[in-house]
Amino acid sequence: MPNYRRANIDGGTYFFTVSTLSRQTFLLDDDVRAALREGIALVRQSHPFTVNAWVLLPDHLHCIWTLPSDDRDFSARWRVIKRTVTQRRGARLNRPDLMTARRTQRKQSTLWQHRYWERLIRDEHDYRRHVDYIHWNPVKHGYARRAEDWPYSTFHRHVAEGIYPPDWGIDASITDDSDFGELE
């Protein structure tokens, strides 16, 4: 197996994609969303970070975080968040049919894919592209007609802050996914 190297920059801003194992569709369940919020709050007590953008879909999530200037350890944060959801909701969501010998050996659940995808944001243009991608994602996947129709997103916060106009995501000039390139 190759030695996988993650981007590690103190105070970096990162884009993440985190998926459920086998793309199970439980992330929008009320109890799972509550456990996600709990995990985020728990980890922020000891390892603060800023959530710049977020979207939650049934089987995966995308987000952008900025870490403190002296910190680069996003992996520890994801461990706590994923573990919290697993501990709170694992009994209900565990899928013995998805359990493998390797997962058993590693004491992993069947809720999350083992790895996640991260990308260091390079500059303001890169940041803007990824924030747009996050907020457009429910429309791309057919879960909403417009970005404002999707309740599980920071889009509404960004509208309130004046970052987006309320009608963003319905203009024909941005409905072509090619505007976002290959981010997933």
Judged against a pLDDT cut of 80, whether residue 110 lies above it is answered with no
Q: What is the pTM of this model?
A: 0.85
More reliable by pLDDT, 38 or 177: 38
Q: Which residues are catalytic?
A: 152
User: CB of 137 within 8 A of CB of 57?
Assistant: yes
pLDDT in tens, 44-75: 999 999 999 999 999 999 999 999 999 999 99
User: For residues 51-65, b (16+ Cβ closer than 10 Å) or e, as one string?
Assistant: ebbbbbbbbbbbbbb
CATH topology of domain 13-176: Alpha-Beta Plaits (3.30.70)
Structure tokens at 95: 């899928």
